[in-house]
Structure 1
């Protein structure tokens, strides 16, 4: 009951005219003709209750005219003229109850609009309300914003080597392998000795506004709090809720050294991070900019609805005037106009589009402007970048082939795990794929051991993390290190067979510090042909290989390739089922590699070996050709009327938002796929997919189509009901007071229908 009363009071504060109009019904009902001043022999002599209604009508008319003027200044067509004329006409014919109902309609319409807009914006508002506003900055002496740790890391990169003594005390990284050195361990231990995150209290930190946080500050994030700025995790591990960033429903566990994004919500334990960006530059602020941009924009269809309100107003006035002239009574004019409701155009159309925008946000799809939402529903030609969009971001291991000279006591899986833990320290393009494959193999074997631990089977239980020492990388050649006492090398054939110490030049150290690597490391065909081992199969055109040696002997060949995303084929099939058959792959890769990926995902139109400018030209030419093929005479008329053709073909480019920035910008709709960490995506794309899922592409189009369909249904239904009711009133079938109430019902039906655009169900 208390909550209900609070909601009622909130509505009254937001729309103060509503309670005043409701209260005005009391004197209108009890003392409508009471005249304490006496009766005057004049045609127009209202009583107290009626005068109160008249004053409110005058006030409502004044406020409506002011609102119309403000809308016209903003470029929106003000059509409250119908309500103004209806109020004036009902008072003129002394139908005070009808005037009261029309005022109630105006006031309650504002309340309904406020509720509908708030409901439609609920998903967007949740993002805005979650904006971090304060941060806890550590004030303990000796915690000097992580400068020592940064210096240690830079020194490590510059030396081109990493000495590790992985004894199980340090935390695992996101890829499952730990990468620490003695200086980092010492600093972390000393810091945690000074500050125990699990027992944090206010004496250890000071709370400041988030915009006062500086790069390098050490931040404490308490359980349940939102991460205030982008940073690097200093604590051993943390569980983060990323649903506000990318819609990911399952919390993600990250480990020391991982990037932590602002806007993510901390789990059950206190964590420490080092700020790597200012608040204004952090990831969540870029998301909020997209949200605010979408809220402030108006879709072309909504602007069209504004323009359609003008002819509707004319039609209503014509019907009312004809009814008055034919009947000879001004009452008929008022009867018609109280039913002339522009709310399906004024409220239902924008509510539907805001609801659709919120629904997209709930699925981790953000749009810059509502025009993008409208255009999504009209897409007829989609261009896909290959690498990182249709495929995973790095080449993946497809098989490992054991050499005859490999140690007999090591399986292919053992060799893959050893290669993976060494490659964890490399910056080469193949490193992450090998590291991931090694981690997955380790996890699979670990799970197998756990399942059979009580079965009596003699399965060797491997340690969770091997001891890794003396890791060094020769840029462009490979990486070497000691794993559980074995000398392991991964890279070019000549490199892995060379047992001499790695000499890292100053140039190599600089390249490694900058994260550069040479493509010379991979020459799979030549290395395989020159290998002393006879491998069981030839490499395919899209395959690449790297070699592994153990204790100076060739042990294995690891074969990698660019593989499609797991959901790419299903996403392409869904797009085709939705009638979008113009699907094109754009890539700078070789023709043979492109054809293999395209055949696997179901795309037949392939443009390979393209430079960035070639991709831009391909999209431009497609836009021109598609427009010529689809442009009809009625499209030209529509274009003259609303500024653009509503059936004009729309091209879409889907890419990673960084390398594809030029072509994302030139397409009618640029869609950037990101995992929530890329801020460059929002610069050139109109739509940003935050969960890095290609399945979101057909989902976004389906939501856009459903939103437009709901909007049109709400508008057409509301206008049709209003016109039918006006015609009935013109023939005196609907009394003026009943008509005013019926008009309110039409408004509610239209707006509630528009709100269904926010509900999830299968659409195409």
Structure 2
């Protein structure tokens, strides 16, 4: 049996107080028309006091939790208008308070639309093909096993990550990466779950279970992002006490000076708190929605608030400032080992490693037609290297320090700017080094310049690479603060010691998970799939483009600015109107209607946070000049 969500209910049931207020208003009008006008004040007043009693009870419950809600002004205004006989104004205040909550619900739904779109597109069914026959069985996406052949029809969502078996296919990945144009894939290319197939049916071979696929990881991030509350929203609650005090002072002063208690009611009618209650949540949901359209999943409005105040940005190197796709340039071997033997053993040892350099070595071996050997056992030391038993050989691959511990007589490789060295030992003897290059992202320097223009005071690079490599890359992108030869724990200590806070850390890869979690804001470059980095980060960039970091900071600043503008817009308008009302120029009934306009203006202003101010996200070109980097493994 399907469950009806609150947003699927009829409007009458979704907003019962609004519905009841309208019914009471119509009933009062009918009573007046048929000659029972004397019953209208009683009907309106009793109903308004009942609503005030419910609001007061909820307010008491909040006070017990240590929360001073600004709704106290709405309760006082309802009671005051009933006490002075302004029963129509009391009904309007009830409608305003209930309608304000309904408007908040609508505005948040509008702002959250792009953020929740992924959830509604979660694939439930997969069409599994039987190899060697035309049989197709519809199974649950969660039942797909690695290696299954899955048919994806035209316009369908890819249910699991896989490799394309068909000759070619076009896939819309806009909901995953922000790329607006379909991406063409050929046989053997990876296909991400959550992408939409084009005009022709395609067959993929599943490479991940549904639970481990890219789309499921994004859904998990979206669910996490939608439940957090921003610090600035709590800050809005702190305006409750001063705003309440100011409102009461103006109302009491007007009452004392004029001698008319009606003035107090007229002032309090214009002091209802909807602008403060609505502004920040709507703005932050809008900012999260805008971020999602730019390929950034933000885990809560609090992340946007911290992004807005960022003073220091720390970058990892490999896969962040560089493309993270090193290519093997040459192999320097020592006798009696041959180049083919050294590369075969190194690739065999590295074939199960998750490090980006490992895949480069394996790819280089396969491109040369070398056959990888079976691995009996393998141990990986994070950011250091791999030790493995390959056939009858013991193989160590990794940093200079890692190989020095395994083999005497290690000779440091001769490298030039933009190169990195991976060292190799076979059966305890130094066998040589593998030299690779990794191009710097062409947008890296511009990204760092733009961050400084946004007010970032310090830009730092932390890397596990050698000092020479780190200095070379830093010079290419314009970074002067560099810390090299870092283990994951060293990065954590370095980030904690930085003086200019908040600190934003940008990284990619499993070894960056600790530092991403320890930074004030952690952003993971997650375009290549779900990793521990994505899980520990506060935000995940779904496109392989470092320039999106600037957009994240800018969206944070715009969101906080609009949230605070909306809060102060509501406060300013309310105070001005209260002062005017204190002189008797705004009757209570008219004031209640005017305050509803203030509420609407506040919400509309907060919704500006959704508005895009940037061009759509596009992919980085896949072929760029190799500027290079040098180092050990990172």
Does the pair score TM above 0.5? Answer: yes
Q: Could you tell me how far 1:223 is from its partner in structure 2? A: 1.9
Q: Could you tell me how far 1:128 is from its partner in structure 2? A: 2.0
The structure-2 alpha-carbon separation of the partners of 1:615 and 1:326, relative to structure 1 and needing over 3 Å to count, comes to same
What is the RMSD of the two structures over their aligned residues, measured on CA atoms?
4.0
The structure-2 alpha-carbon separation of the partners of 1:377 and 1:104, relative to structure 1 and needing over 3 Å to count, comes to same
1:573 corresponding residue in structure 2: 449
Q: 1:96-245 to 2 correspondence within 5 Å?
A: 96-132=87-123, 134-138=124-128, 143=130, 191=131, 194-195=133-134, 204-208=136-140, 210-245=141-176
1:56 corresponding residue in structure 2: 47
1:681 corresponding residue in structure 2: 533
Relative to the length of structure 1, the TM-score reads: 0.66
2:514 counterpart of 1:582: no
SS of 1:379 mapped into structure 2: coil
The unaligned stretches of length 5 or more in structure 1 are 1-6, 37-45, 144-190, 196-202, 400-418, 438-467, 477-503, 531-537, 547-557, 627-648
Q: For the Cα contact (< 8 Å) 2:524–2:540, is it kept in 1?
A: yes
The structure-2 alpha-carbon separation of the partners of 1:69 and 1:252, relative to structure 1 and needing over 3 Å to count, comes to farther
Q: Could you tell me how far 1:586 is from its partner in structure 2? A: 1.0
Q: Count matched residues.
A: 562
Distance 1:658 1:595 in 2: 23
The structure-2 alpha-carbon separation of the partners of 1:222 and 1:380, relative to structure 1 and needing over 3 Å to count, comes to same
Q: Could you tell me how far 1:131 is from its partner in structure 2? A: 2.2
Q: Could you tell me how far 1:88 is from its partner in structure 2? A: 2.0
The structure-2 alpha-carbon separation of the partners of 1:8 and 1:734, relative to structure 1 and needing over 3 Å to count, comes to farther
Q: What's the CA shift string for 1:321-364, capped at 9, x where partnerless?
A: 23223322221121011101312211111111111111111111
Q: Could you tell me how far 1:318 is from its partner in structure 2? A: 2.7
The unaligned stretches of length 5 or more in structure 2 are 1-6, 331-342, 376-388, 404-408, 423-433, 616-634
Q: For the Cα contact (< 8 Å) 1:76–1:303, is it kept in 2?
A: no
Distance 1:306 1:363 in 2: 30
The structure-2 alpha-carbon separation of the partners of 1:261 and 1:93, relative to structure 1 and needing over 3 Å to count, comes to same
SS of 1:585 mapped into structure 2: strand
Q: Could you tell me how far 1:66 is from its partner in structure 2? A: 4.8
**Structure 2 counterpart of 1:709, from 561, 578, 601:** 561
Q: For the Cα contact (< 8 Å) 2:420–2:469, is it kept in 1?
A: no
2:504 counterpart of 1:652: yes
Q: What's the CA shift string for 1:414-456, capped at 9, x where partnerless?
A: xxxxx9xxx9xx969779779999xxxxxxxxxxxxxxxxxxx
Q: For the Cα contact (< 8 Å) 2:146–2:207, is it kept in 1?
A: yes
Q: For the Cα contact (< 8 Å) 1:320–1:337, is it kept in 2?
A: yes
Q: Quick check: which has more Rg, 1 or 2? A: 1
Distance 2:494 2:273 in 1: 44
Distance 2:487 2:550 in 1: 27
Distance 2:452 2:29 in 1: 63
Distance 2:191 2:295 in 1: 18
Q: What's the CA shift string for 1:196-247, capped at 9, x where partnerless?
A: xxxxxxx722243x44445554433222222223344443333222222222
Distance 2:99 2:525 in 1: 42
Q: For the Cα contact (< 8 Å) 2:217–2:530, is it kept in 1?
A: no
Q: For the Cα contact (< 8 Å) 1:298–1:371, is it kept in 2?
A: yes
Q: Could you tell me how far 1:507 is from its partner in structure 2? A: 4.7
1:68 corresponding residue in structure 2: 59
Distance 1:72 1:233 in 2: 58
SS of 1:609 mapped into structure 2: coil
Relative to the length of structure 2, the TM-score reads: 0.79
Q: For the Cα contact (< 8 Å) 1:33–1:47, is it kept in 2?
A: no
**Structure 2 counterpart of 1:291, from 210, 222, 235:** 222
Distance 1:267 1:73 in 2: 56
Q: For the Cα contact (< 8 Å) 1:34–1:49, is it kept in 2?
A: no
2:479 counterpart of 1:603: yes
2:576 corresponding residue in structure 1: 724
SS of 1:752 mapped into structure 2: helix
